[in-house]
Amino acid sequence: MDRNENYLLKNREMIDRELDSFFKMKLDECRDPVSRDMVARIRDFTMNGGKRVRPILTIAGYNLFRGFDERITKASISIELTQSYLLIHDDVMDQSETRRGKPSFHAGVRESIPEGTWDRKRLSENLAIVAGDLADSFANEAITRSGFGHKEILLATDLLAEIVEYTGYGQLLDINSAMDEEFGQKDLMRLHLWKTAKYTIEGPLMMGAVLSGSEKNLKPLSYYGYLLGLAFQLQDDILGLYGNEKTIGKSVKNDVNEGKKTLLMIKAMEYSPEYMPFINECLKNGDISDEDFEKLKDIVKSSGSYDYSINMMKKLAEKSKSYLELVDGESETKNFLKWFADYIITRQN
Amino acid sequence: MDRNENYLLKNREMIDRELDSFFKMKLDECRDPVSRDMVARIRDFTMNGGKRVRPILTIAGYNLFRGFDERITKASISIELTQSYLLIHDDVMDQSETRRGKPSFHAGVRESIPEGTWDRKRLSENLAIVAGDLADSFANEAITRSGFGHKEILLATDLLAEIVEYTGYGQLLDINSAMDEEFGQKDLMRLHLWKTAKYTIEGPLMMGAVLSGSEKNLKPLSYYGYLLGLAFQLQDDILGLYGNEKTIGKSVKNDVNEGKKTLLMIKAMEYSPEYMPFINECLKNGDISDEDFEKLKDIVKSSGSYDYSINMMKKLAEKSKSYLELVDGESETKNFLKWFADYIITRQN
C-alpha cells in the first residue's frame, strides 16, 4: 500500500475509534431509555459506512502545519457528526428510504414503531428531525471537548457554524431550483460552492488549519478546497447517473427522480436543445422508467455534456493542485492532498 | 409603572433593537435573493411577538453579578434565535398552521409558493426545516460576535449546546409519550425539566451568569431556574386548556388535539378513574368537539386535578424564591427575579 492510501486508512481507523468512544460517553450520559435508544440509532447511523472524507481533511489541514496530535482526532469527528445531522434531515426532506445501502434514519425508526400506530410516518420523521438536531449539538461538543485552547476552539466552532449556515443557503437554492425555470449554470455553481465545496472540502480543511494555530497560508489552501470541492460535486453527479448502484449505495435513478438540475442536465439541454422537453419531463417524472433512463444517459453522452463535465472536473482538480503548491506546509501532507485531488475525481463511490 | 415591570420592558426593547440590527447584518451578508428572502422570513417570524422571556433572563443572570453592558444584550438574543429555530421545527412536526396568532413559518412559506407546484406542502416544510437550521447557526453567531472574552464565550456556547441537546431529549420523550401507555407523572416531570425548565428558565439565566464570569452562587441559581421552569410549564398547561385563545395566540384545543398527556390529564385520570376511557378518547381524537372539550374541562376541575396543578405550581414558585435567597447577587436584580416568579405563575399568555 502506498503512503497516501496508508494515511487515509490509518486516519479513518482513528476517526472510527474516536466516534465510537464519543458515542460511548454520550450513551453513558443518557438518563432515560428513550434518549438512549435514539443516541444508539445516531451512533449506528454514523458508524455505518461513510468514507470519513471530511474528518480526514480536518486532520490533513492540521498536519500541514503541525504533527500528529490526539486532540485533532477528537475535534475531527465533529464534521462527521454534522454530516449525520444533515443526512438525517436530508433524507426526511427527500423522503429517501435508503442511505448507504441501509434504511435511512427515519425509515429505520418507522420500522421500530408498531404498525397501526397513529400517524406512524409523521412520527418517525419527527423523531428523525429531533435526532438530527441532537447530532448537531454533538458536533459542537466534539470540538469543545477536544482539549485545544479557547481561541482555537472558538475559531473552529465559528467555522463549523459558518459551514452549516452556508450549507443551509445552498440547500435553499437547491430546493428552490426545482421551482425555478431559469435555474442555470451560474446558480448551480453557487449552490455547489455553498452546499458541497465549502461543506465537504474547504471547510473541514480550514477547521484543521485554524486548530493548528496557523494564520498564514490560509487563502491558497481555501482555494484548493473550493476548487476541489466543485470537482468533487461533478464526480458525484456523474456517479449519480452512471455509477454502480452497489458501489454508491443508493438507487442510481435518485438524482433524476429528485429532479436535480445537475450540470450534466443543464449542458445537455444547452447542447441538444431538441431534447429539452424530454429532459425536463424526465426531471419532473419522479419515477423514471428504465427505458427513459437509458435514453437520458445516452443523450447526456451524445450531446457532449458528459465530456464537458469530465473536462471541467479535471481542470478544477489541476487548478486546485496549483493553489496547493503555494501553501508553505509539511511536504508529506501536501503530497497526500495532491494525491487526494486525483482520488476525488476518479473515485467510484 | 413599577421598577420590575420597567426592567422587563426596557430590556425587551433593547433585545428587539438588537435582534433587528443582527438581522440587518445577516441580510447584508446574503449574496442571493433566495437566501435573503428566507433570512427576512426568519426575521419576521422572530420579530413577531414573543415575550422575550429567555433573553431577559440571560440579562438578569448577568446583572446579578455585573452591571449593564451592551455585550450582554448582544449575547442575549442568541436564545431568542434558538427559540425561532425550535418553534419553526416544532410547527412542522406538529403540523401547526398558526403561531402567535399568525401563520406558522412553513404555512407562510407555503402561501408564497404558486398553487399547483408539485408537492407544495412538502416543499414548504423542507424550506422550514432548513430555515430552522439557519436560525440555529445564527444563535451561535450571536454569542461569538458579542464581544466577550474567549473563555466566557465558550462557556456560553457550551451551555447553549447543552440546552438544545436536552430540549431534544425532552422532545423525544414528548413524541414518545403519545405511544407510551404507561407514561406517568415521573416521566412527565423529567420531560418538563429538559424541554421547558432548562430551556426556558434555568439555561438562559445560567448563560447570563457564566457570561458575567461569576463562578460562585451558580447552584442555587440553577435550582431557582429549574423549579420556576416547572411552575412555568404547569401554568402553560393550564392556559392550554382554560386560557383565552386571543391572549395565548393559538387554539385552546391544540394541546388536547395533539394528545398531550399533561399533568392535568394524568391527575384527572388518577383521581377520577371512571373517566379514564373518556379522557383517553379525547386525547386520541385529534379534533375534539366543543361539547367534549367542555366536558373534559369540567372533569379536570371536578376531579381535583386542576387544584392539584395550581397548588403544585404555587409551591414550586415559592421554593424557587427560597433558593434565590441563597444567591449572593445584586439586590435589585434579585427583587426582579422574585417578582418574575410571581409573574410567571399568574401570566395569562
Over 70: is that where the pLDDT of B111 sits? yes
Residue B1: per-residue pLDDT: 66
B114: chain A residues, CB-CB within 8 Å? 179
Q: Which residue has the higher pLDDT, B118 or A150?
A: A150
| Mean predicted confidence (pLDDT) in B12-32 | 95
Over 80: is that where the pLDDT of B180 sits? no
One-character DSSP codes across B212-276: TT--SSHHHHHHHHHHHHHHHHHHHHHHHHHS-HHHHTS-TTHHHHTT---HHHHHHHHH-GGGH
CB contact under 8 A, A140 and B157: yes
Read off the pLDDT band of A5 (50, 70, 90).
Answer: very high
β-strand partners of A312: none
Residue located via cell numbers 427575579: B337
| CATH (residue range B216-349) | 1.10.600.10
Q: How far is B74 from chain A (nearest CA, A)?
A: 16
**C-alpha cell at position A321:** 493542485
Are A59 and A72 within 8 A, CB to CB?
yes
Instruction: Write out the residue limits of the CATH 1.10.600.10 domain(s) in chain A.
Output: 1-215, 216-349
B161: chain A residues, CB-CB within 8 Å? 137, 140-141, 144
CB contact under 8 A, B169 and A134: yes
Distances in Å between the Cα of A285 and the Cα atoms of A255, A267, A290, A293 are 12, 20, 12, 11
Distances in Å between the Cα of A181 and the Cα atoms of A177, A184, A280, A284 are 8, 9, 10, 12
Q: Which residues contact A134 (CB under 8 A, 6 or more apart)?
A: A38, A39, A42, B165, B168, B169
CB contact under 8 A, B165 and A129: no
Over 80: is that where the pLDDT of A31 sits? yes
> What is the rounded CA–CA span in Å between residue B105 and residue B195?
21
**pLDDT tens column, A246-258:** 877 677 898 899 8
**pLDDT tens column, A201-247:** 999 999 999 999 998 889 999 999 999 999 999 999 999 999 888 87
B122: chain A residues, CB-CB within 8 Å? 93, 95
Over 80: is that where the pLDDT of A109 sits? yes
**pLDDT tens column, B132-179:** 999 999 999 999 999 999 999 999 999 999 999 999 999 888 888 877
Read off the pLDDT band of B117 (50, 70, 90).
Answer: confident
The 3-state DSSP class for residue A318 equals: helix
Average pLDDT, chain B: 93
Domain A1-215 has CATH 1.10.10.10: no
Are A65 and A330 within 8 A, CB to CB?
yes
R_g (Cα) of chain A, nearest Å: 21
R_g (Cα) of chain B, nearest Å: 21
Measure CA A109 to chain center.
Answer: 23
Q: Percentage of residues in chain A with pLDDT exceeding 90?
A: 78
Residue A106: per-residue pLDDT: 97
Q: Which residue has the higher pLDDT, A107 or A32?
A: A107
Instruction: Write out the residue limits of the CATH 1.10.600.10 domain(s) in chain B.
Output: 1-181, 216-349
Over 90: is that where the pLDDT of A56 sits? yes
Residue B177: per-residue pLDDT: 80
Average pLDDT, chain A: 93
**CB-CB neighbours of A282 under 10 Å:** 22
Query: What class, spelled out in words, does domain B1-181 have in CATH?
Result: mainly alpha
CB contact under 8 A, A173 and B32: yes
> What is the rounded CA–CA span in Å between residue B168 and residue A140?
15
B144: chain A residues, CB-CB within 8 Å? 154, 157-158, 161
Q: At what angle do helices A218-242 and A331-346 cross, to 10 degrees?
A: 20
